[in-house]
Structure 1
Amino acid sequence: MNAPQPLQLHQPSSWLPAHSLTVALDDGSVTRTEHHSDAITGPIEYGWRAYQQHGRNAFTFGIGRLADSPLAGARRLFVCGYSHQWESFYLSSAGGVAYTFKHFGIPWVTLVGRAAQPSVLILRHDGNAATVTLEPIPDLESLWRDGYRRASDGAQLTGALAVQQAMLDRFGVAFPPKQVRALAVGPAAAVTWEGTIVSNPVEKGAITWVTEFCGRGGMGSTLFRDFNIAALLVGGAWEPAKESTKAYDPDFEARFGDRYVKVEQRTTVKYSFDPKTGTGGTFGSNYAAMGDKILSFHYQSVFAPKPERLAQMERFVRGHYWKQFQEETIANKQFEHCGEPCSVACKKMNGPHKKDYEPYHTLGPQIGIFDQRAAERVNDVADAMGFDAIQLGGTLGWLFEAITAGDFDPTELGLPRHTNCAFAASPPTRRSSTSSPTAPRTPTTPCARSTRSSGMSAPPRCAKGSALQRRPSTPATRTRGRATARFTSRTANAARSSPTNISFQGCSARCRSWANTTSSTATISFRRKRSGNGTSRG
């Protein structure tokens, strides 16, 4: 069989000009460079070259050469630079932003130096030329801490969302109404290395609730702590030549046997709506196909037998968590897109809450939450603070598991008591050096470490909003330094008669007062298999 040939795409009638800008934030100078049309493939190669030239002193924004085409999915904004998390070059991207960034007329921008104070960088094409402006944000910490009330509807925005809207209100009037977009960092960028760059589409001068992120690598922290840039406004009056997707049909028909629009619809059915499963989006489709592969309580569910994992999926996920999504989002067709024209509308909403599988799973079942209201609360806080919710969920799951296992007293890190942080209800006994080849340690969380080093006030407690807790009948134990949580049924008879013992209990008064929410507490007991020598094994 012959290997498939690469798709030779039709070249748009008007490529973005192969120009770049280098902005020196310390003295305000701007250098424009014209590149040969074939010299740079795209924003990642451009970012890598800037990194090779300037090292950690460069941060780049860029869009691809198809960003001004009608092809959906080709309009992501890429940022590149040094990641303090990875201690090397890194890249991250946000969907839909390039659809607006293209109106700046220049596809690639490098930042060098450091602004004298926290600032917003304004990249605008005024109809004649690209302009660059740097404006200070003297009330940045106030916007993060106190929020910002949007005049159009009275909505009280917080964190990175507040900064976006404030910058649009102050400087957005200079842009064409439909050709401006804001990006901002939240307080997580100031006190951790895990901060993201947050961006929402703009409609009639107001940001929508569809939040996009340059989420991986802590690039928001790099942008703010190394370059002192807290926000950007991008866009302007530059216009590419108009063209239709029909110009690409011959290429797609030759390679895929159908027109571009048909190929797009066929290959993205999971993200829009799949009639076979009756759901759509990553949240709906992933849970619909997951079965016993459920991961919960920081992966501790993998130690449960298959029947118990299936029971957890059916009763807690499909019977409640996923069912809420189906009734609220899918049935009401609350579908949006990321800010670019697209037939897929992959953003599944419930009012102001965007439901993606990854954040609503890591800040959901992975930390013991199986209810949409509780998950919305904790995800909204994570988004506004400028965290990568997916990464934060992994961090919190690890933290709760470590507290449950007795690795350290959470109050030593300024966190709430064990009963408010751990998966188990009763305080465990801290492990001694004789119980494990690895000596006990008191780990320092990234946010605690960065807060102490920066001297700034800490963001909201990492665990706040987690009102659902796992309460196994026995404390979790560890073997050889790895998690081997011991899940048992409530009684031996229950273990023999039924593989599961799952129910909902009302949240305690202590939990309600701490999390300031009323929800349900999942009580889950897993029966573990035992090896021939009587020891537990996963």
Structure 2
Amino acid sequence: MRVAFIDLEKLSVNIAERDAQGPVSLGVQIHEERETWRTDPLSPLSPLVIGMGNFVGGRLIGAHRIIAVFKSPMSKTLQASALGGAAYKMMGAGIDAFVFLGRAPWPVVVLASPEGVRIERAELRYEYQGLRGVYAFTKFLFDKYRDFFAANNARSIVVGPASWTTYNGALASIDISPGGELSKGAEDFAARGGPGTVAAQGHNLAAIIAGGKARARHQAIADIHKIDEIVKIKLKKGYLEALQEKTVKYRYDPTIGTGGTFGVNYVHYRDLVPLFGYKSIYLDREERIRHVDALLRLFWRPFNELVFEKARSWYNCGEPCPVLCKKVWRGKKVDYEPFHAMGPFIGNYVFEEAVPLVELVDEQGLDAIEMGHVVAWIFDAVEQGLLEPEEVGISRRPVFDPSKFNPETDSRTNAKLAAEVVAGFVERSTEVLGIVARSGLRAAARLLEEKFSKRVAERGVRFRDLAVYVVYGEEGYMTPNFYWAPGMVAPMYVQGKYWTNYNPTFMSPEEFAKTAYDRAVIEALIEDSGICRFHRGWAEPILGELYELIGRRLDRDLYKRFAEYSIKAGADPRPWESRRAMDVVSTMARELGAKDWKFDRYEEYIEWWRRYKNSLDKYLGIVSA
């Protein structure tokens, strides 16, 4: 890999060749070399690695992800986060990865092309030509560097306002046409774990702009006949046929009349989608079905009618991909995770109310999944009487009891209040929101339990018990993606992604650990390849052969290296400390009629957790503590 090492303190650039399987492997390698398990995530000594896979520029579709690898201010260990399509233009600079070290004296923008890499002082413009946040900054950069964009067919990655003031900042990339128009659907965020915060607060990095005329890194992957031969041997059909078959969920599934993660997930999981900050796991099935019927009518149906039955506004992420997974509703890209975060998860079942909320989260450059957890947690704390509305900057109490919820009227109330929380979170407008924005949800829960100890004692509920998160070490945590799935809160070394068994299922801890381990190993390798996980159906069976095409043997120990780093960092998985996180496991066990696990004692939860963790470590070849 051709790597640009950029020392932002010295404002210097050194380009060197590095032997690495992909951007994730490179990121782990750099962090291992620098022993960053000893450093704070926001230390200038803790590098931010942003790169692309070895399969860019050839005939493989979906191979142009940009991956960030960093020490997370949330989990306190290594995290990888990806965004789609941007490498299709950025590969033109002829640089496979950027390694950012040191902290610039002021915010900077880095520009890369085949002519070289330069660093310039950045003007942060988060309001520009009627746009706000990351959209405004992207358009401003395009206008300021219009000649550079035009000459190099470049694309940018930027941070938003939230990266400078919170732990939860994302990296945002929005494709832009030669005429300066923001491209519908061709926008994505590397958000989980706070990579934007690492860029801004750790390094004073505001933006990267890269492009040029460089293309395929390896000629073998430009040969469609070789690729076709590999696919036919493994999948018994041609490459394009296999691709179309394996991506039907994300394109359009005629059997259910919808497509994309938003379209499919609600009709597939139905009453198993988590609502109201996971409080729905305590409802009986009849009550859950009543809620799902309402959200299908008010939340899913308006989207599906316009996007699939009328306009068919489908787009890709910026690389030529026939899957067209980006479903756009009146100019706004709609995916399950961000819309569920600002929809049913926070007690909002009206789709039109979620659209401006997701837009606000995206503009600010926030991780929508984490923000959904934060809003739901704050709403629940107010509902439980642990917090007062004015303490979190909201104008009234939310309606956060599913049994008292009126979907049509209460959704609008909760949506309005959520917008107040999001804005206040970024601005740190109250003492409580400042604690959360600086500390993260886990540490904030402990601080608020001390601050409001009398309320906690009176109401008999702790702040931490209203949240769902995985515990890492003494300080780290990660909130799960929105699935009622024990694997999402199980003791895996990387969470907040799909590096686990995320099905709504239950089994013995040993068996569960094996299925999650298998999934984590291959998910890490797919991310390292730079191939979109929506293409994993055809890519996973032939991944080893694809690496052989470029003269490499696939190293399957990548996930183990994450585990070893976490242990050194003292941020390995620890037993649950949130009651609701534990109940994601126990309620699913009851839902499926598991007879061997009753979970009627705390010790039984811990037994399941420890047996799972010991089994995972055994598969990894790690000696459990």
Q: Same fold (TM over 0.5)?
A: yes
Q: Bigger CA drift: 236-245 or 346-355?
A: 236-245
Q: 1:411 aligns with which of 372, 379, 390?
A: 390
Amino acid at match of 2:348: I
TM superposition shift of 1:90:
1.8
- Overall identity of the aligned pairs, in %: 29
Counterpart check, 1:137 vs 2:122: yes
CA distance 1:452–1:164, change in 2 (3 Å): farther
* Equivalent pair of 1:85/1:193 in contact (CA under 8 Å): yes
Distance in 1, matches of 2:212 and 2:117, equals 11
Q: 1:303 aligns with which of 253, 257, 282?
A: 282
Distance in 2, matches of 1:406 and 1:453, equals 14
Q: 1:148 aligns with which of 108, 124, 128?
A: 128
Distance in 1, matches of 2:151 and 2:225, equals 28
Amino acid at match of 1:46: L
Amino acid at match of 1:328: L
Q: Bigger CA drift: 376-385 or 353-362?
A: 353-362
Q: 2:208 aligns with which of 228, 232, 253?
A: 232
Counterpart check, 1:174 vs 2:154: no
Match of 1:440 in 2: none
TM superposition shift of 1:304:
2.0
Match of 1:465 in 2: none
SS of aligned partner of 1:326: helix
Q: Bigger CA drift: 199-208 or 112-121?
A: 199-208
Counterpart check, 1:200 vs 2:183: no
User: What's the RMSD between the two structures over aligned residues?
Assistant: 3.0
Counterpart check, 1:263 vs 2:253: no
TM superposition shift of 1:257:
0.5
Provide, for residues 209-260 of structure 1, a one-character-per-residue CA deviation record: whole Å limited to 9, x for no partner: 3220111110000100111011111111223369353431000000000111
Provide, for residues 468-512 of structure 1, a one-character-per-residue CA deviation record: whole Å limited to 9, x for no partner: xxxxxxxxx97765569xxxxxxxxxxxxxxxxxxxxxxxxxxxx
CA distance 1:136–1:312, change in 2 (3 Å): same
Match of 2:347 in 1: 368
* Equivalent pair of 2:385/2:459 in contact (CA under 8 Å): no
SS of aligned partner of 1:354: strand
Aligned pair count?
Answer: 413
Distance in 2, matches of 1:391 and 1:48, equals 24
Match of 1:186 in 2: 160
TM superposition shift of 1:295:
2.1
CA distance 1:275–1:449, change in 2 (3 Å): same
Match of 2:226 in 1: 247
TM superposition shift of 1:201:
1.5
Higher RCO (Cα < 8 Å, 6 or more apart): 2
Match of 1:431 in 2: none
Q: 1:113 aligns with which of 102, 126, 138?
A: 102
Match of 1:23 in 2: 6
Counterpart check, 1:287 vs 2:276: no
Provide, for residues 401-426 of structure 1, a one-character-per-residue CA deviation record: whole Å limited to 9, x for no partner: 1110111223234x124425865999
Amino acid at match of 1:174: F
Amino acid at match of 2:117: V
Match of 1:325 in 2: 303
* Equivalent pair of 1:20/1:107 in contact (CA under 8 Å): yes
Counterpart check, 1:72 vs 2:61: yes
Between structure 1 and structure 2, the one with the greater Rg is 1
Amino acid at match of 2:307: T
* Equivalent pair of 1:419/1:425 in contact (CA under 8 Å): no
Distance in 2, matches of 1:196 and 1:254, equals 40
SS of aligned partner of 1:57: coil
Counterpart check, 1:86 vs 2:75: yes
SS of aligned partner of 2:112: strand
Provide, for residues 159-199 of structure 1, a one-character-per-residue CA deviation record: whole Å limited to 9, x for no partner: 01111111111113124467211111111101101000011
Match of 2:335 in 1: 356
* Equivalent pair of 2:258/2:304 in contact (CA under 8 Å): yes
Amino acid at match of 1:53: E
* Equivalent pair of 1:77/1:98 in contact (CA under 8 Å): yes
* Equivalent pair of 2:134/2:158 in contact (CA under 8 Å): yes
Distance in 1, matches of 2:120 and 2:21, equals 32
* Equivalent pair of 1:159/1:385 in contact (CA under 8 Å): yes
Distance in 2, matches of 1:376 and 1:261, equals 34
Amino acid at match of 1:207: L
TM superposition shift of 1:24:
1.4
* Equivalent pair of 1:190/1:224 in contact (CA under 8 Å): yes
Distance in 1, matches of 2:254 and 2:10, equals 57
Match of 1:516 in 2: none
Q: 2:86 aligns with which of 97, 106, 113?
A: 97
Distance in 2, matches of 1:345 and 1:284, equals 13
Provide, for residues 415-448 of structure 1, a one-character-per-residue CA deviation record: whole Å limited to 9, x for no partner: 124425865999xxxxxxxxxxxxxxxxxx9768
Q: Bigger CA drift: 89-98 or 268-277?
A: 89-98
Once the two structures are superposed, the pairs formed by residues 306-455 of structure 1 within 5 Å of their partners are 306-314=285-293, 316-331=294-309, 332-413=311-392, 415-419=393-397
Consecutive unaligned residues of structure 2, counting only runs of 5 or more, are: 37-44, 405-423, 442-457, 468-599, 601-625
